[in-house]
Structure 1
Amino acid sequence: MNALLSGFFLGLSLIAAIGAQNAFVLRQGLQRRHVLAVSLACALSDAALVFLGIVGFGTIIGKAPWIAMVMSLFGAAFLAFYACRSFYSALRHEASLNPAETIAPSLKATLLTCLAFTWLNPHVYLDTVVLLGSISANYGAERFHFGAGAITASFVFFFALGYGARLLAPVFANPRAWRVLDLLIGMVMSALAVKLLLGVFA
């Protein structure tokens, strides 16, 4: 139980910070589009990453720094593209920001975008695979209980974020709120893209 709770709270602390993936899940939840699929994709991706860390894949990543560099470049390019989309969305006519009046992306396109936010982020490998993997080694035979706690935290967080976002629906009935959200998302994506590039070229 100690290992399970430790994994849960550590996993929750790592994914609760505002980031590209969380911002995307929040937006999908506010629009009530593909919420189940997006939340499940994020949680299952985290589960796969935690498992890789527990079985020792983090050691391989730690000895191959070029993996992080390549992922940083691809991740920065993707984040910059999505930031531009968010800024463009914020600058459009207010009426077009109403989610009921826009054309919803297909489930396939939404899932591909969601998975890109997860798997093209090099920090997810450092935090989830390397960090959680190295800490789980301290629990010996109970490391899988530790991993189960971290995986549980991912499911709780992403489903709470996706479905809890609808509580903010009255606020986002105002098109200006969508404009502000898109601006904030664009700023977050831009900052993360710059951070990734600085990590590569610094």
Structure 2
Amino acid sequence: MEDLKNVSFSPLPDTTYVRPFRFNYTQNGQSKSWDLLEVHDSVAIIIFNVERKKLVFVKQFRPAVYFNSLEPEDRDVDVVDTDKYPAALGVTLELCAGIVDKDKPLVEIAREEVLEECGYHVKLSDLELVNSYRSGVGVQGSKQTLYYCEVNDDMKQSAGGGVDDEIIDLVEMSISQVEKMLFSPSAESIRSPPSCLYGLMWFLHTKAPKYRK
């Protein structure tokens, strides 16, 4: 995952994943415009192994996080110095998640992501709907739907790690480790999206108390 080389930037070609465009409108009589990105909606899943009392996360390299870790003067270069900027700067800790790019119910897509990324075979009835919210409200505003499921070791059918060219590692953390990550200020920022942090706060408030007994 952290064997990173040949980092460079180029103009965005046509793609099915991101469509940049300008939104023009009039608000309170004033003409305005805003640059936006059209992206897919997504699902995310809080996974808790009740047998070992561990939350299950995915760890992966995120180019956007890496890019925003570069100093401004090092973004306009032919090739990024990966000795100065190692891949670890872009490695994030996230909930299991995936985009909605299939004509299927959201809960079915969530079930597939749990199997593909984390290797657990869960039933649709195992997935509890938590909430839906908007992501990246400044430029995209896409909807993410959050689920919760409890698993055990018998439900593990594969190593997970994603499909095709995905490179995903699984990470397990105890409730106390998650609390330490969330509530212990550090000079180094948490490399997790707000949706993950919201999901963890929800878990600590609604589910964790019975597992602390």
Which TM-score applies when normalising by structure 2?
A: 0.25
Relative to its length, the structure with more strand (as a share) is 2
Which TM-score applies when normalising by structure 1?
A: 0.26
Higher RCO (C-alpha under 8 Å, 6+ residues apart): 1
